[in-house]
Structure 1
Amino acid sequence: MTAPTKVAVFGTGSWGTVFGMVLADAGCEVTLCGRRAELAEAINTTHTNPDYLPGIELPAALRATIDPAEAARDAEFTVLAVPSQTLRGNLAKWAPVLPSDTVLVSLMKGIELGTVMRMSEVIEEVAKVPAERVAVVTGPNLAREIAGRQPAAAVVASRDESVAQRLQTACMTPYFRPYTSTDVVGCELGGAVKNVIGLAVGIADGMGLGDNTKGSLITRGLAETTRLGAVMGADPMTFSGLAGLGDLVATASSPLSRNHTFGINLGRGMTLQETIAATKQTAEGVKSCESVLDLARRHGVDMPITETVVSIVHEGKPPVVALKELMSRPAKPERH
C-alpha cells in the first residue's frame, strides 16, 4: 500500500483550512501551520476552525501546529495561504525548514506592492527555487461553499506539467475537480485582477445599479485583464476558463466574496477606513488594485476599470464622480 502524500499548509484562514480539508478528503496526510496555539488546539481537539469557519466539521485526520518545522517535515507539497502582501516576510521565515524537494503551492491571488511581482515570482525569489517547483491553485473557489463540500472546479498550474498533474491527483475529490495548466502567468493574473473587478461590481451594487452595469463591468473587466495577460505572455484563452471568467463571475456576484462585499460598502458611501473596520478578513483587491495598475502602466496597458477602482479606494473619489468619468471616455470599437 502506497504511503499517503504529505502536505503542509501554511495559513489557517478560511481558504487555507478548506484546501487542507480538500487534501485530507483526497487521502493526503495534512498538517496546517498557524500562528496561534489556541486555534491550532481547537482544530486538533474539536475538528473545527471557530475563527474562520464556525459550524464546519473538519476531517479528523487534519492536524494543526504552530511549529513550521513540524508542519514542513517530509512534505511533498508546501501550500502557502497567507495574505499576498505578507507572503515575502512569512516565507523568508519558513524557507529554512522547507524540504529541498518540496513543491511550493500558492493559493494567493494578488500582485506584490512595489515590486509588482506575481506570487509565484515572490516564492521563487524568496525560497530560491526554480519555477518548475512552484504551482498555483486558482478558480471560482469561495471557501465557505467548498467547506460545505459543494461541487467546484479549479485550475492547478505549473510550468512543469508533471508537477501540475501530481498536485491534481493530490487534491481531486468527488466535490473538488481540478484541471491542469502550464500557463502560470495567465492563471495568476486572472486571480489577481478579478479581485479588482469584484470591487468595481460591488461598488456598483452598493450604488443601487442593476445587472446591465454588472454585466458590462464583468465583460470589460475581463477584456482589460486579457489585454494585460497578452502583453505579459499569457495564453488569452486562459481568461475564458476557470482561472479567468469562472473566478471573476463568482467573485463579482457572490455575497460570500470579500471583495464584492467590500465594494458594496464603498458604494453605499462608507469611507475606506470604515469599510476596513467592518471587514474581518482580507479583501485582496484593496491593496492589489494599486499594484495591478502599476503593473499595467509599466507594460503600457490601458485598464480603465482598475484605474477607477484605485481612484475610489485610495484617492477618495466619490463613486458617482468616478463612474461618470468612466462612462464619458472616448468611444471605441470592441476588439478581441
Structure 2
Amino acid sequence: MFLNVVVLGGGSFGTAMAAHIASRKAQMEVHMLVRDPIVCRSINDDHCNHKYFPDHKLPKNVVATTDAQTALLKADYCLHAVPVQFSSAFLEGIASYVDPALPFISLSKGLELNTLRMMSQIIPQALRNPRQPFIALSGPSFALELMNKLPTAMVVATKDKKLANAAQQLLASSYLRINTSSDVTGVEIAGALKNVLAIAAGIVDGMHLGNNSMAALVAQGCSEIRWLATKMGAKPTTITGLSGTGDIMLTCFVNLSRNRTVGVRLGLGEKLEDILGSMNQVAEGVSTAGAVIALAQKYNVKMPVLTAVARIIDNELTPKKAVYELMNLPQVEEV
C-alpha cells in the first residue's frame, strides 16, 4: 500500500523518524516540511541533513520542501516535530492545508509556557479542529541511535485503539518496538517533565556532587512527576513505563541529552544565556521548567526538585543554594 507521510520540522528527531519510516518501505513517500532552504536543498540534492546528520545518508524516498501546501497534499499521516513553544503559531499558519481527518503523531515533548497546554491540546486548538486525530509518541530514543538502527522501544498514546494500532503498524520495525497506551496525559506529562529533571541531574554532575546525590535526586524527581501526573488523571503505571522511567533514565544519565548538558554547564557556573546561545538545538526543559511552578500550585503538589530547577533558570536561586535548601527540607516519611 502506497503511503504519504509528512514530517513537520527538520530537526534531529524529525529527520531520524523520517529516515526510519522511509527505510521501511520503498512505496512510502516521506515529505519533510523544513524552514531552512539550505537544509531543504541538502536533503533533496545530497540525501543528507548536513546540519544534524552530516555522516548519514537519507533514503531516496525522503523529500524536503519549504512549502506547507505541497508537503500536506495527500498526506496519510503527519509527524509533528516542531518544538513545543513554536508549535501553536506554526500550526495556525498551515491550518488551511490540513485535512480534518489527518492523524497527527506528536514527537514534541514539553508544556507551553504561559498556557501550560500539552501537545494534545495545542494541536487541535491551533488547527481549530477539536476532533483532529492525535497520537503522542514518546520513550527513550536519541535521534542518533535511531539513525544508526540500534534497538529502541517507544510508546504511542491515544484514546482511539484503532488509531494506536495503525500508528504501531506505521512505526514498528525490526529495531523499533512500539507499545500502545490510552494514557495520553501520563505519556505527555512524563515526556515534558523528564526534561526538567534532566537539567537537575546535569547540575548535580556539573557540581561534582557524586553518585549518591544523583540517585537520590532522580528518585525524588520521579516521585514528583508521579505525584503531579496522577493528580492530573494519569495512571501511575505509565510513569514507571517506557515514557516515564525509561525516558527519565536516558535523559538524566546519558551525555547525549541536551537538557542534561544545560544542567551540567549551569552546575559548572556558566550563565544560562551563554549556554543557550551556543546550542543549535532546543532544550525543551528550559521553557517547561517555567510551567512546573504554576502546575505545582494549580494541583497543590509539592515538587521541591523540579521547582528548584525553575528558580535556578529564573535566576532566583544559585545551584549551590538550591542544594542547601533541598538538603535542609524536613525529614519525611517516604510516599
CA contact (8 A) 1:76 1:101 kept: no
- Matched length: 333
- Residues 71 and 132 of structure 1, relative CA distance in 2, 3 Å threshold: closer
- Residue matched to 1:11: 9
- Residue matched to 2:100: 100
What does the per-residue CA deviation read over 1:267-298, in whole Å, with 9 as the maximum and x for residues that have no partner?
A: 00001111112222110000100112212211
Measure how far apart 1:132 and its partner are.
6.6
Classify the secondary structure of the residue corresponding to 2:49: coil
- Residue matched to 1:21: 19
| 1:175-186 correspondence runs (5 A) | 175-186=175-186
- Residue matched to 1:273: 273
Q: Supply the distance in 1 between the matched residues of 2:124 and 2:152 (Cα, whole angstroms).
A: 29
Classify the secondary structure of the residue corresponding to 2:154: strand
Q: Supply the distance in 2 between the matched residues of 1:20 and 1:292 (Cα, whole angstroms).
A: 31
TM-score, reference length from structure 2: 0.97
Give the letter for the 2:270 counterpart.
Answer: M
CA contact (8 A) 1:132 1:159 kept: no
- Residue matched to 2:52: 52
Give the letter for the 2:60 counterpart.
Answer: A
- Residue matched to 2:333: 333
Q: Supply the distance in 2 between the matched residues of 1:301 and 1:251 (Cα, whole angstroms).
A: 23
**Structure 1 vs Structure 2 CA RMSD:** 1.2
Classify the secondary structure of the residue corresponding to 1:180: strand
- Residue matched to 2:174: 174
Aligned-pair identity (%)? 36
What does the per-residue CA deviation read over 1:137-177, in whole Å, with 9 as the maximum and x for residues that have no partner?
A: 10001111111111111011111111111011101111111
Classify the secondary structure of the residue corresponding to 2:5: strand
Q: Supply the distance in 2 between the matched residues of 1:130 and 1:23 (Cα, whole angstroms).
A: 27
Q: Which residues of structure 1 form unaligned runs of 5+? A: none
- Residue matched to 2:242: 242
Classify the secondary structure of the residue corresponding to 1:179: strand
- Residues 101 and 132 of structure 1, relative CA distance in 2, 3 Å threshold: closer
CA contact (8 A) 1:132 1:160 kept: no
Measure how far apart 1:25 and its partner are.
2.1
CA contact (8 A) 1:25 1:173 kept: no
CA contact (8 A) 1:132 1:158 kept: no
Q: Supply the distance in 1 between the matched residues of 2:316 and 2:145 (Cα, whole angstroms).
A: 33
Q: Supply the distance in 1 between the matched residues of 2:35 and 2:139 (Cα, whole angstroms).
A: 27
- Residue matched to 2:204: 204
CA contact (8 A) 2:292 2:307 kept: no
Measure how far apart 1:114 and its partner are.
1.1
- Greater Cα shift, 183-192 or 207-216: 207-216
- Residue matched to 1:301: 301
Q: Supply the distance in 2 between the matched residues of 1:132 and 1:305 (Cα, whole angstroms).
A: 36
Give the letter for the 1:84 counterpart.
Answer: V
- Residue matched to 1:37: 37
- Residue matched to 1:258: 258
Q: Supply the distance in 2 between the matched residues of 1:144 and 1:171 (Cα, whole angstroms).
A: 17
- Residue matched to 2:194: 194
CA contact (8 A) 1:187 1:238 kept: yes
What does the per-residue CA deviation read over 1:27-59, in whole Å, with 9 as the maximum and x for residues that have no partner?
A: 232110001222111101111111112211211
What does the per-residue CA deviation read over 1:220-260, in whole Å, with 9 as the maximum and x for residues that have no partner?
A: 11110010111110111000000000000000011110000
Q: Supply the distance in 1 between the matched residues of 2:87 and 2:314 (Cα, whole angstroms).
A: 22
Measure how far apart 1:332 and its partner are.
1.1
Q: Supply the distance in 1 between the matched residues of 2:292 and 2:175 (Cα, whole angstroms).
A: 32
Q: Supply the distance in 1 between the matched residues of 2:126 and 2:15 (Cα, whole angstroms).
A: 24
CA contact (8 A) 1:22 1:176 kept: no
Measure how far apart 1:189 and its partner are.
0.4
Q: Supply the distance in 2 between the matched residues of 1:106 and 1:19 (Cα, whole angstroms).
A: 11
Give the letter for the 1:270 counterpart.
Answer: E
Q: Which residues of structure 2 form unaligned runs of 5+? A: none
TM-score, reference length from structure 1: 0.96
